Amino acid sequence: MADISLSSRNDIKPLPGAMCRRFEAGGTVLAGYPVYLDTSGDVNCADAVTFAHATAIGIVVADNTGGTAFADGDQVDVCVLGPLAGFSGMAEGTLHFTSANPGSIATVSPGSGNYEWILGIAHASTILFINPFSNDLTQQTA
């Protein structure tokens, strides 16, 4: 499984038309990390290993002052839908997934024993259109 690269965490920014929401971080998260919503309503680093962690709601973006690292209790903006810039080397039109590696985005399904959760589709080599969902409805009851 291959994970995508970021051009720079500072470049992870929503483009016009993107929808972002502000959440409290439940642990350390970085710009570019896919995150899931925990039972406290905080966001934490997503991974495909457990179902609760695989169900990413979006990707953390850099803040307006250039901040890219956020600690437990910090307010973070998460792109939950729409175009997000700052990636590199993506193939246009390909799906991208929550990775088995925490905080990473995979270019292919995370494989056997992991949960498949789609984060979005590449609109260009540097732009990922965020639209999290699962195309496997049997996972919805896991």
pTM above 0.85, yes or no: yes
For every residue of 83-137, which 3-state class applies, written as one string?
EEECEECCCCCCEEEECCCCCCEECCCCCCCCCCCEEEEECCCCEEEEEEECCCH
Q: Express each pLDDT in 91-121 by its tens digit.
A: 999 999 999 999 999 999 888 888 899 999 9
Q: Express each pLDDT in 59-86 by its tens digit.
A: 999 888 878 999 999 999 999 999 999 9
Quote the CA–CA distance of 83 and 122 in Å, as a whole number: 9
Q: Express each pLDDT in 9-48 by its tens digit.
A: 889 999 999 999 999 999 999 999 999 999 999 999 999 9
pLDDT tier for residue 52 given thresholds of 50, 70 and 90: confident
5-141 fold: Virus Head Decoration Protein; Chain: A, (2.40.300)
Quote the CA–CA distance of 86 and 125 in Å, as a whole number: 9
The count of C-alpha atoms lying within 13 angstroms of the C-alpha of 41, restricted to the half-sphere facing its C-beta, is 5
